[in-house]
Amino acid sequence: MEPLEAARVRAILDRMAREKEIACSFFNRVAENLEDVEKRRWFRRMGQDEKDQRKILLKHRKELCPDPLPKAEDIQVSPVHAVLSQLGRETPVDYVEALRVAVRTAEDSRLFCDKASDLVADRSCRIFLKILVEEGRSHRNELLRELRELERNTSASEAA
């Protein structure tokens, strides 16, 4: 792999792995504060999905760019992930707000993966990025359904 390609792949995979780590932590923080068992399981599952995806990203990173990982604070992440990394750390986050931010984060991640897949020459990495695009779409849709249902129920109860 040429140096420019290696640097591009390294930056993409480092950012994505860091964002997956942030999302995993966020989902787990939210899950800890939920009383509803099903919602808690759902958020833990989302967190586990992020953790699993991060593992695969790190595997690609190790194979394609064997140099050491930079410190987490040295990796540039999207603005929405920067917010996500702090949300719910000091005080529990409201469930509706958690859903809204998670929807934005999933969409941001999906768009980044889609663009990144066009920039990576390694076929297996490119395929995995396309898989992440679809998983991101699935997560976003799942979160959006829950948010819309919750908003509908809230509107209906306020109207009554």
Q: What is the pLDDT of residues 24-62, one digit of tens each?
A: 999 999 999 899 999 999 999 999 999 999 999 999 899
**pTM value?**
0.90
Instruction: Give the other-Cβ count within 10 Å of 3's Cβ.
Output: 7
Query: Would the pLDDT of 21 be above 70?
Result: yes
Range of the structural domain that residue 144 is part of: 3-159
Query: Would the pLDDT of 156 be above 80?
Result: no
SS3 label, residue 52: helix
Q: What is the CATH number of the domain that holds 83?
A: 1.20.1260.10
Task: Name residue 104's amino acid.
Answer: R
Cβ-contact 154, 97 below 8 angstroms: no
Cα dihedral 82, 30, 134, 150 in deg (nearest 10): -110
Number of domains within the chain: 1
Instruction: Give the other-Cβ count within 10 Å of 49's Cβ.
Output: 17
| Distance, CA of 119 to CA of 111 (rounded, Å) | 13
Query: Would the pLDDT of 160 be above 80?
Result: no
